[in-house]
Amino acid sequence: MFGKVAADILGLSDVGSVIKPDNYDKVDADDYVMHEDNEKIYFLIKSKSDEYCFTNNALIHLDGTSATSKKRMLHRYSYVNNKISEVKLETAGTVDLDVEIKFKIGSQPFSIDVHKKHLEEVKDLYKALIKISEISRENETSLQYAKQSLEVASSTLGRVTSSDNNLVVQFKMLNQAAFQWLEDSKKQYSIKDFGYIFEKYINN
């Protein structure tokens, strides 16, 4: 019953609508946002059957047959473990009623139809996803460089001769240094929270 009322209030059809922040509490996806961990909704698209909720940490996709159905499949794709790529925006033609934003998150492709009256908002989402994709790609390259740098340093140190008495101590120190290097590099180049990107590009 609530699903039908919410659908009527939000004016939903099979083509998605961009939901305003004032109405986030009327959608099911809000129940699965980790507000306790300061997760926040930045963009939300809803149709009769699906909800696409973009937070600072993840894409939450509620997949259902209709807004009135009690059976929903919840998918959560964290940005840190599922890189965004292949972001595209297809604008509407003269007779088209919808625009389409396409992207991959991890290995999962998405193609979301949105009513063309929301084109300006979808452009903002497109910019944010493009930027997140670029940052993730650059950070992945930087992390690989950090790992290669560590391998070169380890190989060089491995050729240094030492007395048997110092081998255990040096191995322990090298192992601790290598672990810390990788830990620091991962923290630097594996971004979990992209709220600052959404705040820069989303203007709803």
Mind listing the domains of the chain with CATH numbers?
1-204 (2.30.29.50)
Identify the pLDDT of residue 137: 86
Q: List the Cα angle 182/188/190 in 5-degree steps.
A: 90
- Inform me whether the pLDDT recorded for 60 exceeds 90: yes
Per-residue pLDDT at 138: 83
Angle at 104 between CA 98 and CA 108, to 5 degrees: 110
Q: Which residues of 5-24 are buried (b: 16+ CB within 10 A; e: fewer)?
A: ebbeebebeebbbbbeeeee
Per-residue pLDDT at 155: 64
Average pLDDT, the chain: 81
